[in-house]
């Protein structure tokens, strides 16, 4: 994603209602996408065990061979583009793994994995606001909840179905209405927490969406009810599972709304945005529901912040998560010995200042990020400059605080 005046790409997501034939075709495609992804992952894993690397082109050749076998001939029945895209996604997953940004890619499961299929321009037709996918005769019945930008032409179309059974189409388009904002010299540090979603270095605390507490309680109830359903009780289990999925979807929708407003505001107001780099590895360890939801919110927040920063010519700096942001006095720089999570205020032994724990952490993040921004070294940061969806890591030596 490069920021010039004309080529900011932006995804527009809508619900749609497929016909019975379209739903069947898409479900078949999801299945084939999953199959191809898993076969390619198995092939790459076997190669990896022999200390060989298999690249995208080799998996693509494998796909051609698989299609010729009797067993996998059904792969020919769906559009080949989503299958190729699955191989590209796997390639990206491996690039993240080799770059130590993600865990080893996992197999897609029929029940748990997101159902989706990605179409590039050769596999769809978009004319006069009507989108027709390959292997389909009729256009999709899309609910245009907001208009596409004037003259927008999708370059990629992603179809997905969530666990609540809802269908979505996401269109990646150039959005000419996005322009870099005039530069400012304001910076903000953003700390992530559990009781508050975020705390800013300005002292502002952003709480979780208004309904989230109630939604979470409802979710916990629905999950308990699902667990109680006997394995033989198919229909009721399905119903209970659908209910859990619906509440999940509701939480996610409301959260996304809130995050969009918040990230737009933060990016408009600040030139430099400093966040903490929470690695995936530590995030998955704690499996409490609250934790899981706040982690999901955090990664969504971060990715929105990064792409909007890129649109508007702002900079997001991620500071190493080992940086002791909560133990350091933001006033005089003295480091406290320990700072257990339940202690909500920091009384500095050096200067006597009493800090709110989260605000202090946010202020420290801001200072660390600005130091990085100016001299390009310091706290082993990962700099993300506008244009960097590619998650490039800049390795700088870690300074002992």
Cβ 317 to Zn ion shortest distance, Å? 24
315 is catalytic: no
Cβ 329 to Zn ion shortest distance, Å? 3
Cβ 363 to Zn ion shortest distance, Å? 12
Give strand pairing partners of 172.
Answer: 11, 156
Cβ 202 to Zn ion shortest distance, Å? 19
Strand order of the β-sheet with 315-320 is: 205-206, 198-200, 187-192, 272-277, 315-320, 382-384
191 is catalytic: yes
In terms of CB distance, is 42 or 351 closer to Zn ion?
351
For residues 308 to 337, the per-residue mask of contacts with Zn ion, x marking binding by CB under 5 A and - elsewhere, is ---------------------x-xx-x---
Question: Of the listed 25, 276, 295, 320, which one is catalytic?
Answer: 276
**Separation between Cα atoms, residue 362 and residue 94, nearest integer Å:** 33
Give the 3-state secondary structure of residue 163.
Answer: coil
Give the 3-state secondary structure of residue 212.
Answer: helix
Q: Look at the chain and count its residues.
A: 401
In terms of CB distance, is 350 or 387 closer to Zn ion?
350
Half-sphere exposure of 283 (CA within 13 A, CB side): 20
Cβ 353 to Zn ion shortest distance, Å? 5
* Alpha carbon separation from 327 to 22, 279, 281 (Å, rounded): 56, 20, 22
**According to CB under 5 A, which residues from 336 to 365 bind Zn ion?**
348, 350-351
Structure tokens belonging to residue 383: 């700099």
In terms of CB distance, is 73 or 351 closer to Zn ion?
351
281: left (phi > 0), else alpha (psi -120 to 50), else beta?
A: alpha
In terms of CB distance, is 79 or 325 closer to Zn ion?
325
* Alpha carbon separation from 220 to 55, 216, 293, 334, 365 (Å, rounded): 43, 6, 12, 42, 34
- What kind and span of H or E run contains 231? none
In terms of CB distance, is 187 or 328 closer to Zn ion?
328
For residues 271 to 310, the per-residue mask of contacts with Zn ion, x marking binding by CB under 5 A and - elsewhere, is ----------------------------------------
300 is catalytic: no
* Alpha carbon separation from 385 to 74, 186, 234, 273, 309 (Å, rounded): 44, 16, 51, 11, 8
Could you tell me how many residues of this chain bind Zn ion (CB under 5 A)?
Answer: 7
Question: Of the listed 191, 212, 295, 320, which one is catalytic?
Answer: 191
- Contacts with Zn ion by CB under 5 A lie at 329, 331-332, 334, 348, 350-351
Q: Which residues are catalytic?
A: 191, 276, 358
């Amino acid at each position: 994603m490069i920021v010039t005046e004309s080529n900011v790409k932006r995804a527009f997501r809508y619900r749609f209602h497929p016909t019975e034939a379209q739903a069947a075709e898409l479900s078949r495609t999801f299945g084939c996408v999953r199959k191809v992804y898993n076969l390619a992952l198995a092939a790459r894993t076997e190669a990896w065990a022999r200390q060989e690397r298999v690249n995208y082109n080799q998996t693509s050749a494998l796909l051609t061979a698989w299609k010729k076998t009797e067993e996998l001939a059904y792969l020919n029945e769906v559009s080949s583009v989503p299958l190729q895209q699955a191989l590209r996604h796997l390639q990206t997953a491996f690039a993240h793994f080799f770059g130590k940004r993600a865990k080893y890619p996992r197999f897609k499961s029929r029940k748990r994995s997101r159902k989706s299929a990605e179409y590039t321009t050769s596999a769809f037709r978009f004319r006069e606001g009507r989108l027709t996918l390959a292997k389909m005769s009729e256009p999709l019945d899309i609910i245009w909840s907001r208009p596409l930008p004037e003259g927008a032409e999708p370059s990629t179309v992603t179809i997905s179905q969530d666990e609540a059974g809802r269908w979505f189409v996401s269109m990646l388009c150039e959005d000419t209405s996005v322009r870099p904002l005039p530069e400012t010299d304001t910076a903000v540090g953003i700390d992530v927490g559990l009781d508050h979603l975020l705390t800013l270095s300005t002292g502002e605390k952003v709480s979780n969406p208004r309904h989230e507490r109630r939604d979470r309680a409802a979710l916990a109830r629905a999950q308990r009810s699902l667990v109680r359903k006997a394995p033989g009780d198919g229909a009721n289990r399905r119903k209970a599972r659908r209910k859990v999925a619906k509440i999940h979807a509701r939480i996610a929708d409301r959260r996304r709304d809130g995050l969009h407003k918040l990230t737009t505001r933060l990016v408009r107001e600040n030139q430099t945005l400093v966040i903490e780099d929470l690695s995936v590895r530590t995030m998955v360890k704690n499996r409490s529901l609250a934790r899981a939801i706040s982690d999901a919110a955090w990664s969504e927040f971060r990715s929105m912040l990064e792409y909007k920063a890129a649109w508007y010519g702002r900079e997001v700096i991620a500071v190493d998560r080992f940086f002791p942001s909560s133990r350091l006095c933001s006033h005089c720089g003295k480091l406290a010995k320990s700072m257990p999570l339940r202690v909500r205020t920091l009384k500095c032994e050096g200067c006597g200042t009493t800090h709110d724990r989260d605000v202090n952490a946010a202020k420290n993040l801001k200072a660390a990020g600005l130091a990085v921004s100016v001299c390009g070294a310091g706290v082993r940061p990962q700099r993300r400059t506008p244009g960097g969806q590619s998650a490039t890591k800049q390795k700088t030596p870690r300074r002992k605080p």
